[in-house]
Amino acid sequence: MQPWHLYLMALLYISAGIFHFLKPGIYLRIMPPYLPAHKILVYLSGAAEIVLGVGICLPSLQRISLFGLILMLLVFLPVHWHMLAKSRKGRGIPRWALILRIPLQFVLMYWAFSYLCPEF
């Protein structure tokens, strides 16, 4: 049996991934212009969150899924910077929340990393 907080992490990513399919417009609005095929990227990132969220619950896929989550969070960082730099992209989100999203990404990375290397 996995620790309850691993299931919490899985639920977080699975829910976020599902939201990409239910409300793609939210994610399309924040996509940086230098990225191609925005709609495809929104759906792919949602699918990745769902697959990786499920994967961390399966002992045989847990390590690779945790690495995948860390990599995904790193890849998402430019989108968060873009939202912060382009105030119109963060419409309706307070500036303090946009600022806090940056360190939150690192907290989420550390959370995933803590299952890979529990001694940290």
- Six-digit token string for 114: 């803590």
Q: Which amino acid is at 112?
A: A
Question: What pLDDT sits at residue 30?
Answer: 85
Question: What pLDDT sits at residue 60?
Answer: 96
Question: What pLDDT sits at residue 57?
Answer: 96
Residue length of the chain: 120
CA distance 60 to 82: 36
Question: What pLDDT sits at residue 93?
Answer: 76
Quick check: pTM over 0.85? yes
Question: What pLDDT sits at residue 90?
Answer: 63
CA distances from 89 to 17, 28, 86 (A): 20, 10, 6
- Six-digit token string for 25: 């417009």
Residue segments in the chain with a per-residue pLDDT below the cut of 50: none
Question: What pLDDT sits at residue 86?
Answer: 75
- Six-digit token string for 104: 């939150």
Question: What pLDDT sits at residue 92?
Answer: 74
CA distance 18 to 28: 15
- Six-digit token string for 66: 């945790």
Nearest CA to 90 among 26, 46, 17, 23? 26
